[in-house]
Homo-oligomer: A and B are copies of this chain.
Amino acid sequence: MIDVQQAEGSSAHSSQRSALPLVNTRLWNSGFLSREEQNALQNAVSPARSVGPNIDLVREGDRTDSLFIVIKGWACRYTTTKDGARQLPALLVPGDVGNLDSLMFDRLDYGVRTLTQATIVALPRDRALALAAQYPGIGRTFTWAALVENTILSKWALSLGRRSARERLAHLLCELSVRLNAGDGNESSFACPLTQEQLADALGLTSVHVNRTMQQLRNDGMVETENRTMTLPDVAGLRRIGGFDPDYLHIKSPAQTQLAE
């Protein structure tokens, strides 16, 4: 069995090369796992594998029997209408689970696709369910993860239904800033590999309009983009624009994460 304690400190910020890929993932940081449960979960996942950009981990409507956890890189869930319009119900950053639904459903009604080169581990459904039944903390962690996703999705629905393009974009950028743990005083900066078309698919807009809206935010000094890096010089202002309140993300940074028991 892998001993978590031993390697934990040194690998906290380089999980992609670690033998402990789950460190700092959402499941790991739920706060419900005892050390024993962390070990059990760690031992259940497949070795990390590297995947190129724009590769489907699961296609829309496909069957799968594994959960895919993003260790490094970005991915997304995508859905399409019968006319081919695309809407992303989720952006996945390191630590996120791509398809929690596969825990319960054979068939996914969305696809999961990498956006960048990414490192992925798989957790077989059977093992996940067995662990959930055996360890209360693991079962609780799955429920918690599903509910966090639900919360994020509710906010997206609010944006899609009721916010202007400017507000939507501001809100999403604020959300990403927090989820990537990229805060630093009132300024935030993070690598954002999304094309404007991908942003548009997340925001329910066209890429043309995302472009114009982004320019407006740039002119207002709220955003700087340069070489796939997104800088938010005035996070407080951007939050005001987007009506963003970070509490809903239920983020537990590594520092806050506690072991159960």
Contacts and interface: CB of A to CB of B under 8 A. Distances in A.
A161 B204 contact: yes
Interface in A131-162: 132-133, 136, 139-140, 142-144, 146-147, 149-151, 153-158, 160-162
A77 B157 CA distance: 12
B133 A87 contact: no
A243 interface: yes
B250 A154 contact: no
Nearest to A200: B161
A153 B153 contact: yes
Contacts of A158: 79, 81, 87, 89
- Interface size class on chain A is 35 or more
10 contacts: A77-B154, A79-B157, A81-B162, A81-B167, A87-B162, A105-B147, A105-B250, A150-B150, A153-B157, A156-B157
Interface of A: 77, 79, 81-83, 85-87, 89, 100-101, 103-105, 107, 109-110, 129, 132-133, 136, 139-140, 142-144, 146-147, 149-151, 153-158, 160-163, 167, 203-204, 243, 247-248, 250
